[in-house]
Each structure stands twice: as structure tokens, then as C-alpha cells.
């Protein structure tokens, strides 16, 4: 007798017993709540997990945001209502962080906005171009697909360290610059270049993932449509404009939403590459939240939680806005 048959003999009655038990329980529940409400029962396990690991921490965070002091446990913390939010929004001029009580929070906001706009645009653009290139019949297509995806597999710390070595004063980049007669630069110390490199490195590290999604979207477009447009005399640009883009739009929105969320949450690459510097030039909201809540000797959990609520709500609004725009464009 083969091993598989032995296993089959053992497991079959067990499985049968399990199915019958589950069936009996479900029939019992259905008899009590009615078939209309059985849907709730099926989503209950997921809701429980969501409730315990997402909803409860969110509510706890909201509570922390309305408390002060430095104690860790919620019960020990004095309720201060919206004071932490008032502190965050206490500004003479919202466009000038130095006029705000929590200037670092506002620097974080402005840096985050700049980073998100630059990084998401770059990711969408370069991922699309790369996906279009990799969708063509080129030599060593599989190899290139792997090459572009490879950085995604690397730990953010490794990515940031590699680029730190490349960009340091005695690094590879300056060696190349000097080779062509240029002068070495402190790339990460220059306030303008620092933001550029932070965006560049994060795009380099992450675009492979979005390229893969777009590539899947491109491959799901039926080739017949291109054949039809070719018969109609469409050129390459018209193919792209009237066939590829409209059909790729839902995938593009997925990429947009995912990359936007990831960009707003960006921490690891930047933390290792520049530490948020020079000064606070590349310090984003998430780093402010972390520093305020955890890395100072006197840990301001309330202020940190309030800032994270602001970040969460901003992200929610942005995502809803994107989804709405996405729905409108697909209806049009």
C-alpha cells in the first residue's frame, strides 16, 4: 500500500467528521439567526482580527491623543481633550514652520508633501515606462524583469546603506564625477540635493513592485484590440493613448493609491540614509511621530498620537479623493 493511500485512509474519516461537525454547527446557527444574517457570521472571524489588531489600536491611539503626561498606561494619563491637537496647530503663519509651537511637526508636513508629490509622480512615471519596455519582445526580457524587481527584495536598511556609501564624499558617485573632471560634492549635506537623493533612492528601491503590477495590467489587455487599432491605422502613440491607457487606468489607480500610502508612511530608507537631515530637511511626519513618542527621554505619547491621527486622517482623505477620481474617470 502506498503512503498516500495510508494517509488518505487516516485523514478521510477525520475530515469527514470535521465537515459534518461544522455543517451541524452552521445549520444550528442558521436555524437561529436565519439565512439572511449568515453573511455576518462568515465575516465575523475577519472582523474580530480587524477589530483587535486595527480598530482597537486606532481607538486607543485616539484616546492617547486626548491625554497628557508621560505615563505609559492609559488609566494613568490625565485627559486633556483636544489640547494636543491645539498644540500641533498653534501657528502664527501656517506657511512658516518657525512660527509654530511644534515647528518640527510642520516641517515634517511640508517635507512629506514635497516628498509624496515627487516620489509618487516619479514612481508612477518610471514604473509605467519600465513596464511598457518590459512588455515588449526584447532580448533577455526575463533577466531585465528580475533586475528591476531585485531592489524590492532588499531590506530598506541595506538599500539605504548601499546608497549612503555611493553618495558619501569619498563614494562612488564622486569618483565618477571626478573622472569626468567635475568636483566632489557632499550630496546629502546640500539641502536641495538631499531631498532629491531621498526620492531617487526610494524610487529605485520600490519601483520594481509597481512595475510588476503595471506589467500584469498591460498583459491583461487583449492583443485583439491592438490588432484592431492597427487595422484602423493607429500609430504607436495612438495605441498607447486610446488603447493602453484607458484599459490600464484601473491598475494605474491601484499603483497610485498604494504608492501614495507607502510614500506618506516612508521612514526606514530615509532614517538610515540621512537621519532626516541635513537638519530636518528630509524629516517626514512619521519620523516626527517616532521621535516625539519614543526617542526622547521624556516621551510625549499624547502629542505623538495626535500627530499620527492627523497623518491617518490626511491619508484617509487623500485615498478617498483618489478613489472618487478613479470612479469618475472610469464612469466617463
Partner 1 sequence: MRKILALFVILTLLASALPAMTQDTVELRIRWYNDGNEGEVLRDLLDRFEADNPDISVEIDTVPYSAILENLPLDLAAGEGPDMARVTDLGGLAQYYLDMTPYLSDPAYWEENFGPFLNWKRVPGDDSSIPGFMTQLTITGPFINRTLFEQAGVEVPSDMSDSVTWEEWAAASVAVAEALEIPYPMAMDRSGHRFAGPAISMGAMYFDDMGHPTVMDEGFRNMAETFVNWHLDGTMHPEMWPLSEGYANAYEEFANAELAFYMAGSWAVGQFSEAIGDAFDWQAVPNPCGPGGCTGLPGGAALVGIVTTEHPEEVARVMEYLTSQDVLGEFGARTLFIQAHAGLSESGIDWNTDLQLAKDALSVFVGQVGTLTQTAFDLQAYIYNRNVFNATRDRLTQALVGELTLDEAIERIQDDVDTALAEVSG
For partner 1, the binding residues (CB under 8 A) are 68-73, 78, 98, 101, 103, 107, 168-170, 186, 188-189, 191, 271, 274-281, 287, 291, 294-300, 302
Which CB atom, from 66 or from 123, has the smaller least distance to partner 1? Answer: 66
We find the least distance from the C-beta atom of residue 243 to partner 1, in angstroms, to be 48
Which CB atom, from 139 or from 298, has the smaller least distance to partner 1? Answer: 298
Which CB atom, from 107 or from 145, has the smaller least distance to partner 1? Answer: 107
Q: How many CB atoms lie within 10 A of CB 186?
A: 13
Which CB atom, from 111 or from 244, has the smaller least distance to partner 1? Answer: 111
We find the least distance from the C-beta atom of residue 191 to partner 1, in angstroms, to be 6
**CB distance 118 to 199 below 8 Å:** yes
We find the least distance from the C-beta atom of residue 189 to partner 1, in angstroms, to be 6
**Cα separation of 101 and 111, whole Å?**
17
We find the least distance from the C-beta atom of residue 107 to partner 1, in angstroms, to be 8
Which CB atom, from 106 or from 148, has the smaller least distance to partner 1? Answer: 106
Which CB atom, from 121 or from 168, has the smaller least distance to partner 1? Answer: 168
Q: Which three three-digit cell numbers place residue 193?
A: 540635493
3-state SS, one letter per residue, for the chain:
CCHHHHHHHHHHHHHHHHHHHHHHHHHHHHHHHCHHHHHHHHHHHHHHHHHHHHHHHHHHHHHHHCECCCCCCHHHCCECCCHHHHHHCCECCCCCHHHECCHHHHHHHHHHHHHHHHHHHHHHHHHHHHHHHHCCCCCCHHHHHHHHHHHHHCCHHHHHHHHHHHHCCCCHHHHHHHHCCCCCCCCCCCHHHHHHHHHHHHHHHHHHHHHHHHHHHHHCCCHHHHHHHHHCCCCHHHHHHHHHHHHHHHHHHHHHHHHHHHHHCCCHHHHHHCCCCCCCCCCCHHHHHHHHHHHCCCCCHHHHHHHHHHHHHHHHHHHHHHHHHHHHHHHC
We find the least distance from the C-beta atom of residue 110 to partner 1, in angstroms, to be 12
We find the least distance from the C-beta atom of residue 6 to partner 1, in angstroms, to be 27
We find the least distance from the C-beta atom of residue 87 to partner 1, in angstroms, to be 8
We find the least distance from the C-beta atom of residue 54 to partner 1, in angstroms, to be 21
Which CB atom, from 171 or from 250, has the smaller least distance to partner 1? Answer: 171
Which CB atom, from 184 or from 230, has the smaller least distance to partner 1? Answer: 184
Locus of grid cell 491592438: 226
**CB distance 199 to 270 below 8 Å:** no
Amino acid at each position: 500500500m502506498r503512503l498516500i493511500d495510508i494517509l488518505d485512509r487516516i485523514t478521510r474519516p477525520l475530515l469527514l467528521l470535521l465537515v459534518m461537525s461544522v455543517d451541524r454547527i452552521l445549520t444550528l446557527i442558521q436555524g437561529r439567526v436565519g439565512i439572511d444574517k449568515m453573511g455576518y457570521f462568515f465575516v465575523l472571524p475577519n472582523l474580530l482580527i480587524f477589530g483587535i489588531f486595527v480598530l482597537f489600536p486606532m481607538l486607543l491611539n485616539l484616546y492617547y491623543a486626548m491625554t497628557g503626561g508621560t505615563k505609559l498606561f492609559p488609566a494613568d494619563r490625565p485627559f486633556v481633550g483636544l489640547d494636543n491637537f491645539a498644540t500641533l496647530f498653534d501657528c502664527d503663519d501656517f506657511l512658516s514652520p518657525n512660527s509654530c509651537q511644534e515647528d518640527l511637526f510642520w516641517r515634517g508636513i511640508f517635507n512629506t508633501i514635497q516628498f509624496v508629490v515627487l516620489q509618487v509622480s516619479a514612481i508612477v512615471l518610471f514604473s509605467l515606462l519600465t513596464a511598457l519596455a518590459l512588455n515588449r519582445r526584447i532580448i533577455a526580457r526575463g533577466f531585465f524583469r528580475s533586475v528591476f524587481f531585485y531592489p524590492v527584495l532588499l531590506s530598506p536598511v541595506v538599500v539605504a546603506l548601499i546608497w549612503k556609501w555611493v553618495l558619501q564624499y569619498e563614494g562612488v558617485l564622486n569618483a565618477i564625477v571626478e573622472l569626468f573632471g567635475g568636483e566632489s560634492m557632499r550630496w546629502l549635506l546640500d539641502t536641495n540635493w538631499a531631498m532629491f537623493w531621498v526620492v531617487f533612492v526610494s524610487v529605485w528601491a520600490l519601483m520594481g513592485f509597481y512595475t510588476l503590477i503595471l506589467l500584469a495590467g498591460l498583459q491583461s489587455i487583449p492583443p485583439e484590440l491592438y490588432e484592431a487599432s492597427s487595422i484602423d491605422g493607429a500609430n504607436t502613440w495612438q495605441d498607447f493613448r486610446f488603447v493602453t491607457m484607458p484599459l490600464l487606468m484601473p491598475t494605474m489607480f491601484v499603483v497610485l493609491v498604494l504608492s501614495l500610502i507607502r510614500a506618506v508612511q516612508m521612514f526606514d530608507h530615509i532614517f538610515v540614509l540621512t537621519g532626516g537631515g541635513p537638519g530636518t530637511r528630509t524629516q517626514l511626519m512619521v519620523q516626527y511621530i517616532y521621535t516625539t513618542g519614543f526617542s526622547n527621554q521624556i516621551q510625549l505619547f499624547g502629542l505623538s498620537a495626535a500627530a499620527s491621527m492627523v497623518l491617518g486622517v490626511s491619508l484617509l482623505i487623500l485615498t478617498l479623493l483618489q478613489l472618487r477620481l478613479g470612479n469618475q474617470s472610469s464612469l466617463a
